[in-house]
Amino acid sequence: MVTAEVAEAVPAQTPEDRFEAVIAAEQRIEPRDWMPDAYRATLIRQIAQHAHSEIIGMQPEGNWLTRAPSLRRKAILLAKAQDEAGHGLYLYAAAETLGVDRAELTEKLISGRQKYSSIFNYPTLTFADVGVIGWLVDGAAICNQVPLCRCSYGPYARAMVRICKEESFHQRQGFELLMTLMRGTEAQRRMVQDAVDRWWWPSLMMFGPPDADSPNTARSMAWRIKRHSNDELRQRFVDMTVPQAEHLGVTLPDPELRWNEERGGWDFGEPDWSELTRVIHGQGPCNTQRIERRRTAHEDGAWVREAAVAHAAKRAAEHAAAAAAAEQHTEQENGK
């Protein structure tokens, strides 16, 4: 309409000007627009890491698929794992719009040259972990992802809108699972508390290092890739989660957790950042296992990919032969 045309017609002499103008006007950068090399590189790194996290993230919960306590829980868990695979694919597709190839990103993941979220390097020891992952890990992911729906890069923002719509089910099924366990036996309640104790701090670390140690945040925020700092998002997550923990009847394992009337938020203790550094650099409890599993799945799937290509070639040849035969038939008919 008229207004849209006016907005599009912002005069800009250089590609840089145009890029800056689009960002400033809260419009979206689209794949073939000019963009600074560092903007492209930042997005490729972030989207790839995000995609890898979705894919690797299927493993901790996948551990319990064959041992879910009921058909209902099994169906739910399967649906969730399938969603995460879908999230990975949406994100790889978004990354590909920046000129990289999915196969190349997979190669970088299994060779350890690209990272995934540190949270997925922790083991799932009991079925309560499935509930706690849904509640805390997907909950933290939602905190991170909702602002990304307004990211300045169009394909990433659109993938995030789709993903956020699906994440709500993940968090709610986890919370419901935990509520069910909390209504059960004493042993089941202890199982939930144990899982909360193990996952709480790693969940807080999902937001990344503290702002002071996150040098790229300012630039990402200026580019409107990121909308809030790590510490802001972490605070938001704590504020959302504390009342949920109370409702559930579990204790969050932080003696420093207390309501701060002045600033209207929860004060909380400092995560052990050296642990985050260790896990990121490959020394988490499950790093080796996760990558090994991903590599095996990729290599075991090679024959399927090859067979699909062979099948496609065979079908194409059949179609071509049938078309040629039909054409010959028509010529004969016409010749009569």
CB of 267 to Fe ion, least distance (A): 28
Q: Does 138 bind Fe ion (CB under 5 A)?
A: yes
Q: Does 275 bind other proteins (CB under 8 A)?
A: no
- Using H for helix, E for strand and C for coil, what is the string for the chain? CHHHHHHHCCCCCCHHHHHHHHHHCCCCECCCCCCCHHHHHHHHHHHHHHHHHHHHCHHHHHCCHHHCCCHHHHHHHHHHHHHHHHHHHHHHHHHHCCCCCHHHHHHHHHCCCCCCCHHHHCCCCCCHHHHHHHHHHHHHHHHHHCHHHHCCEHHHHHHHHHHHHHHHHHHHHHHHHHHHHHCCCHHHHHHHHHHHHHHHHHHHHCCCCCHHHCCCHHHHHHCCCCCCCHHHHHHHHHHHHHHHHHHHCCCCCCCCCEEECCCCEEECCCCCHHHHHHHHHHHCCCHHHHHHHHHHHHHHCHHHHHHHHHHHHHHHHHHHHHHHHHHHHHHHHHHC
Binding other proteins by CB under 8 A: which of 27, 78, 81, 108? 108
Binder of residue 4, out of Fe ion, other proteins, none (CB less than 5 to 8 A by kind): none
Stretch that binds other proteins, among 137-145, 157-165, 195-203, 265-273 (CB under 8 A): 157-165
Q: Does 73 bind Fe ion (CB under 5 A)?
A: no
Q: Does 28 bind Fe ion (CB under 5 A)?
A: no
Q: Which of residues 141-170 bind Fe ion (CB under 5 A)?
A: 167, 170
Q: Residue 22 or 133: which CB sits closer to Fe ion?
A: 133
Q: Residue 215 or 255: which CB sits closer to other proteins?
A: 215
Binding mask 49-68 for Fe ion (x = CB under 5 A): -----x--------------
Q: Does 2 bind other proteins (CB under 8 A)?
A: yes
Question: Which residues form the interface with other proteins (CB under 8 A)?
Answer: 1-2, 5, 8-9, 30-34, 37-38, 40-42, 44-45, 48-49, 79, 82-83, 86, 89-90, 93, 96-104, 108, 113-115, 158-159, 162, 166, 215-216, 280, 305, 308-309, 311-312, 315-316
